[in-house]
A and B are shown apart, each in its own frame.
Chain A
Amino acid sequence: MKNAPIVGTSVPRMEGRDKVTGHAHYVDDMVLPGMLYGTTVRSRIARGKIERIAFGTGIDWNTFVIVGPRDIPGKNCIALIEDDQPCLADGMVNHPEEALLLLAHPDRHLVPKAVEAISVEYHPLPAIFTMEESEAQSQIIWGRDNTFKSYRIEKGDVDAVWQSADHIVEGEYTTGAQEQLYIENNGMIAAFDPHKGLTVWGSLQCPYYVHKALMKLLGLSADRVRVVQMETGGAFGGKEEYPSMIAAHAALLAMKAGKPVKIIYDRMEDMAATTKRHPSRTRHRTGVSKDGKILGGEIDFTLDGGAYKTLSPVVLSRGAIHAGGPYYWPSVQIRAKAVATNAPPHGAFRGFGAPQSLFALERHMDRIAQVVGLSPVEIRRRNLLKPGQTTTTGQTVEEQIDLGKLLDRALELSDYSAKKEQFAKANQQCARKKGMGIAAFLHGAGFTGSGERFLGSLVGVEASADGSLRILVSSTEFGQGTNTVLCQIAAEALGLRYLDMGIAQPDTDQVPNSGPTVASRTVMVVGKLVESAALGIKETLAASGMLGDSYSPEEFRSACLGYVRKHGKLRSLVQYQQPDDIVWDEEKYHGSAYAAFAWAVYIAEVSVDLTTYQVTVDDFVALQEIGRVLHPVLARGQIIGGVAQGIGFALYEKVIWEQGRMQNGQMTNYIMPTCADLPSIRVYFEELGNIHGAYGAKGIGELPMDGPAPAIVNAVEDALHVPFHAIPLLPEDIFAALSESAAPESAATSARGKE
């Protein structure tokens, strides 16, 4: 029997009922008997030696559990790419808010008082806070040259281009740090049982990252560490790597105390101490023909990584690969590097380097258009990638994607041409200037290059004792819809009903490692594996003669039940195999960077009020090709949510730094958009299908973060005829630029026309 299709329909969110009734269980909702409340004593300076730590009077220190670096049984590091980041600073601090000491007490009211009573004396050392200072190497704060990682992507002969180009267009563009600002702050509970080992429960994206870090830190074997993900109240990359740190802290306290310990950050601690989006600087130098064709270019892409390496090499890689955007570059040289500064390490945030490099590129395209004398639409149309052409890494576009058509449709949906004309006229009379801006872009789904092959993700589906099915993955739900979409896929594969499927809570004792929940890989990569694993169950049942060719959900269930009774268990495990057509050269940074790209054209309509200098986004069209849309409501929700964060990135969210420390770590002074600040965000999909993903799906989660900032800033320039090169773009920046705009050429860009 074949049921109605499930994939492509908006079934109810798996855990939705719990969420709307207040019964969803987040880590701070969990209480264990005898649990203590833990906290972290942090560095107040950016760089220096720790001379002395004094425990003040008025506190009964005997009632506190106190953990320092000497209490670490294994290696004092948070294992990730490199083991350079300590779990607790030992003698030396390298950024403000670095963890020095841990405290725990049964009375949560006493904990903040104890932190206040601790004073730390330092011998301060000179610190560096900008990429430029880091590059100048006045202080070496990391490795030999302050460089965490560098890459070079080369295609064709760029040097030959400068001779033949009619125009050479240069520009420098910068983006600021951005806080993920999930509404649930970070938190973790740890409990240690001398027989069974350690368990941590927490708000996190990647259970096996935490697992790996804890093993190394504590010197425990894999089977003695268990990591469980609780319902997670937003993550956006912000709970990719830092939860390992908090789990480590809670675990150290719990092991010393012999009691469970809970650590929940408050908002200010979460903002000041945990990761943010990497600040970036991109320099473009592009050779263009007089008819507007890109001939070649140099792109220097630099990220501020903060004090430790953490994930910077991977963020840098994605940023570099996306730096050429959806355009054809006959030749290009992309030089990327991530450098160290004495700020808390920057980390994963939706888009992962691509929003930074694409902001630069899409601003630069408008700049090129002006120099050549073409419209923003035309310059893009003439350079968009076509099937059969290659990307900057030499990856051939295999899909029959027509980006010109995507562009046309976006123009039509936004009524671009008519509005642009109308605004140009109206702006002459009005103190409220209006403008239209475009961004065309792409986003690669899944890990870069051979990343998925190295991960070798494992996925399972099993029948429970009652014959019901559940999916076993370490892929986590934090709002995107992981649970729902994976259950849809499994149900569809088996011809069962959506509600016949269940999904296990991510728990390293129960689920195999299906890889981290990052890089827009869950639906495309893990989803495909879930489909195969589900089919494996059916094959096993069929081979055993317990299931016929056609069956009802009830028959399927009783076949499962029969099989489990007879054989004890029914489980199907599948491992990722890289398709043959994905070939990547890690040395040269050449080849198939991603199994699939999602493509998009976004158009922003803005107005700028010349009395307040506030920019308002009046309309926003988000058109994308993401392969097959498996769940229309969730997919639309992902796009709108991403665009809202992109609007925040462009216009509202500014981290104010002082000596490497965030000064505005509160929701009152770090401003994210409210529902009163946002326009209606109009979402449209083209569906082309993708051979690699489950039911033709590609990644979707990160894409919508890439386009809004350049589209909006392009629209602001269209409204004011003043170029802006940096985000966030706040009213004071616009005021300053308008006051200066008498100057003929801004210092940040220059262009040279050749006859």
Chain B
Amino acid sequence: MTESPEARAKREISITVNGKPETVQVYAMERLLDVLRHELGLTGTKEGCGEGECGSCSVLIDGVLVNSCLIPVLQAQGAKIVTIEGLASNGHLQALQQCFLDCGGAQCGICTPGMILAAHHLLSNNPQPTLEEIREGLSGNLCRCTGYTQILEAVAEAARREAAT
């Protein structure tokens, strides 16, 4: 375990979240997950395990997919962060989000933000993944409800719709 969050005084951290610059006063060792949820009110990022196993807390830091429960906020100083709240624009769902809806990719919804970010990350790097590549790309995200099939189908369908446009 790292040193406890309040071991040092609070300090100022600047990050850009979903395109918006933010400055927060936090303990340096505070988890990025908690800063997003508690300080910035971005509660779309979820905690499932707090130890890097489930992927519910997935966000993008400078385009890299990370588990925000493992990242001390200090490490994100100056970075550009994307959370689930940053995907739909002006109330318009991304194709990927729409496909999760259409294909049954979200049941209880708690894993969904993390799944969608992981899938979004996969599709940005590999717009036409094979089923195996989708499996691989999402294997760090746990879902207890769906048995994954409809999630994989949602991602494949999103890739198909993107290609068709």
Residues of A within 8 A of B (CB): 10, 12-13, 15-26, 28-29, 109-110, 113, 180-185, 231-236, 266-267, 478-481, 633-634, 636-637, 640-645, 666-668, 672, 674-676, 678, 680-681
Contact = CB atoms under 8 A, between A and B. Distances in A.
B53 interface: yes
21 contacts: A17-B101, A19-B109, A180-B144, A231-B109, A233-B46, A233-B110, A235-B108, A267-B49, A478-B108, A633-B150, A640-B146, A641-B147, A644-B146, A644-B147, A667-B53, A667-B142, A668-B53, A675-B138, A675-B152, A678-B149, A681-B147
Nearest to B138: A675
Interface in B93-124: 93, 97-98, 100-113, 116
B44 A26 contact: no
Given A267-B48, A267-B51, A668-B53, A20 B108 contact: no
Given A20-B100, A21-B87, A184-B48, A641 B145 contact: yes
Nearest to A271: B49
B135 interface: yes
B46 A16 contact: no
A13 B146 contact: no
Interface residues on B, range: 35 or more
Nearest to B43: A29
A636 B143 contact: no
A755 B7 CA distance: 80
Contacts of B142: 183, 667, 672, 674
Q: Is the interface of A mostly helix, strand, loop or mixed?
A: loop
Contact of B145 (A17, A113, A234): A234
B111 to A, nearest CB: 5
B144 A234 contact: yes
Contact of B150 (A231, A480, A640, A666): A640
B145 A479 contact: yes
B111 A183 contact: yes
A109 B53 contact: no
A633 B100 CA distance: 11
Contacts of A478: 108
Q: Which 4 A-B pairs have the closest CB atoms?
A: A22-B44, A233-B110, A479-B108, A19-B109
A266 B136 contact: no
B40 interface: no
Interface string B23-56: 0000100000000010000111111111101101
A123 to B, nearest CB: 33
Contacts of A10: 104
Given A235-B108, A633-B103, 5 more contacts: A21-B93, A29-B43, A234-B108, A667-B49, A667-B54
Contacts of A29: 37, 43
B85 A668 contact: no
- B contact face: mostly helix, strand, loop, or mixed: loop
B53 A184 contact: no
A246 B153 CA distance: 37
Contacts of B135: 675-676
Contacts of A16: 100-101, 106, 109
Nearest to B6: A109
B149 A479 contact: no
A182 B112 CA distance: 13
B151 to A, nearest CB: 7
B48 A681 contact: no
Contacts of B107: 234, 479-481, 637, 641
B70 interface: no
A184 B139 contact: no
Contact of A20 (B45, B93, B140): B93
A666 B113 contact: no
Nearest to A20: B97
B21 interface: no
Contacts of A184: 46, 48, 108, 110
A17 B93 contact: yes
Contacts of B42: 22
A642 B107 CA distance: 12
B101 to A, nearest CB: 5
A512 B17 CA distance: 43
B88 interface: yes
Contact of B109 (A28, A181, A479, A680): A479
A15 B101 contact: no
B5 interface: yes
| Most B C-beta atoms less than 10 A away, residue of A23, A641, A676 | A641
B83 interface: yes
Nearest to B101: A16
Contacts of B6: 109-110
